[in-house]
Amino acid sequence: MGRDKRVTYVLVDGENIDATLGTSILGRRPRPEERPRWERVLRHTEERWGQPAQGLFFLAANNELPMTFVQALLAIGFRPVPLSGSAGEKVVDIAIQRTMEALRERDADVVLVSNDGDFVDQVEDLLDGRRVGLAGFVEFRNGGFIELQEQGLEFFDLEYDVHAFNETLPRVRIIPIAEFDPLQFL
């Protein structure tokens, strides 16, 4: 890959996605096989926007590095960003916000994988002509992102668009009539 090739940075707020999946969708801690296949997020981004994707996976690692997970992330092409801070400090949010602010100075596109409204301002600042996407669960997406769609923000549902899961999640969603299959309900 040449140095002048445009890149999409994929910034993953793993805590937010895991919490949404566990608390709001499954009602319990997700099992490993129920978690997203993160390599599919990178592949989807590369295929959708026709350029390489560089994944940064932010995780709170307060004095304990989950080496098995870190090694798995490295193997699929993500760069883990393990963080620590004082009690109550939202280290993942702070790091993602700082990264998005730093990306304003780069000629690159960005996909944020989160439903968290703490990033609305930084996402809006990036909508300066570059491609910016938000991947998550559409029904749990913070409402502040919706108005940014008029400014060019693209939305990707992790299950329906990215196909990041091996099994169908127990979600209730609004179904466009063109996609309605009665056999799914019978």
> Is the pLDDT confidence value at 4 over 80?
no
> Is the pLDDT confidence value at 3 over 60?
no
3 is a domain residue: no
86 is a domain residue: yes
Query: Which pLDDT value is given to residue 171?
Result: 86
Residue percentage of the chain with pLDDT more than 70: 98
2 is a domain residue: no
Q: What CATH number is associated with residue 113?
A: 3.40.50.1010
Retrieve residue 79's tokens. Answer: 């760069």
Query: Which pLDDT value is given to residue 176?
Result: 82
Retrieve residue 45's tokens. Answer: 């981004």
Compute φ and ψ for 178, nearest 5 degrees: -65, -20
Domain span at residue 76? Answer: 8-184
24 is a domain residue: yes
Model confidence at 168, pLDDT cuts 50, 70, 90, reads confident
Least confident segment among 4-13, 91-100, 170-179: 170-179
Model confidence at 2, pLDDT cuts 50, 70, 90, reads very low
The total number of structural domains in the chain stands at: 1
Question: What is the tens place of the pLDDT at every residue in 121-153?
Answer: 999 999 999 999 999 999 999 999 999 999 999
Question: What is the tens place of the pLDDT at every residue in 71-101?
Answer: 999 999 999 999 999 888 999 999 999 999 9
With a CB cutoff of 8 Å and minimum separation 6, the contacts of 23 are none
**CA nearest to 113, candidates 25, 21, 33, 51:** 21
pLDDT (average), residues 37-44: 97
* The residue count for the chain: 186
